Amino acid sequence: MKKVAVIFNGGTISMKFDSRVKAAVPALSGEEIMSMVTGIEKFAEIESFNFSEEPGPHMTPEKMMELSNFIKDILKRDDIVGAVVTHGTDSLEETAYFLDLTIKNEKPVVVTGSMRNSSELGYDGPANLSAAICTAISEESRNKGVLVCFSDELNSASEVTKVHSMHLNAFESPDFGPLGIVDTNKPIFYRDKVYNDYIETSSVESKVALIKTAVGMNSDFIDFAVEKGYKGIVIEAMGRGNVPPYMVEGIERALKKNVPVVLVSRCYKGRVLDSYGYHGGGKELRNIGVIFGDNLPGQKARIKLMLALGKTKDLEKIRNIFEEDFYRIYK
């Protein structure tokens, strides 16, 4: 029987209601959670690892790197066919993307969790965990990068985002949809990813700012980030990749100090492109040296920039990490 490593890393799936604080808190061990996944022993042998009991908002880039290295070591074992990782949903997409960028292994890595804690009716943790384990043992799941499994849907870590604060099916891939589903304990894939990014680095630069644009904004936040020693800035621009005019000077000042600025859209769907030539438009931003982040949401572009800066401080090399596969035809 195939063996799967299940790495428990906190989140709502490990929580229950505490009558003293009148709210859910971390409480369950990995073994207690696995005891609720009834019948899984008919499909796979499970080896459990308790990595942490952290809530999603407590995750840090340094802990993500530690988790990545932990998973890599486990996947080196010949008796392990894949890994399942539990995670708090608030930051799950960021950690899953971090793992996707830093783990280069054909064995499946599947990230899951729950939207309801174990004290709530309809606790979805065991169902998500069993679907993730069934995905990890399948040969069809190999060489697909890191997967996110929720509500019997399989999404790519590079495409998925949390779209709802309370629904059980809280994760979607807005532009492209799921890679597949889990049906009667088997993953079924309907499409594949074309690009599989990998950033080979053992370090991560956590001082990367994320700034969202809105009407009438100026350069104050950009200048503040530079003054406070931030090594990179991600800007969630308007629409196709445009900013209010008074932000341009701050962007220029950041670039002159060798602080990379990555541009993505604040829109739910779509990618950025230098389509507009007015002051603050994408064409001007590209001409002054801004890096374009394709269709990544701000939080994922920030993860990618953290890893890129961990690998190199060269702005052109960082630009290539973001743009090589997506903007070559426009150069």
CB atoms within 10 A of CB 14: 29
Coil, strand or helix at 162: strand
Beta strands in 196-255 (DSSP E): 208-212, 232-237
Number of helices and strands in the chain (H, E): 9, 16
Burial 180-213 (b: 16+ CB within 10 A, else e): bbbeebebebeeebeeebebebeebbbebbbbeb
The answer to whether 12 is a known catalytic residue is: yes
Per the residue annotation, which of 12, 89, 95, 213 is the catalytic one?
A: 12
* 294 dihedral zone (left: phi>0; alpha: psi -120 to 50; beta): left
Beta strands in the chain (DSSP E): 3-9, 15-18, 23-26, 45-52, 80-86, 109-112, 146-150, 153-156, 161-162, 171-172, 180-183, 186-189, 208-212, 232-237, 261-265, 291-292
What DSSP designation does 36 have? T
Separation CA 171–CA 5 (nearest Å): 23
CB atoms within 10 A of CB 163: 13
Catalytic amino acids?
12
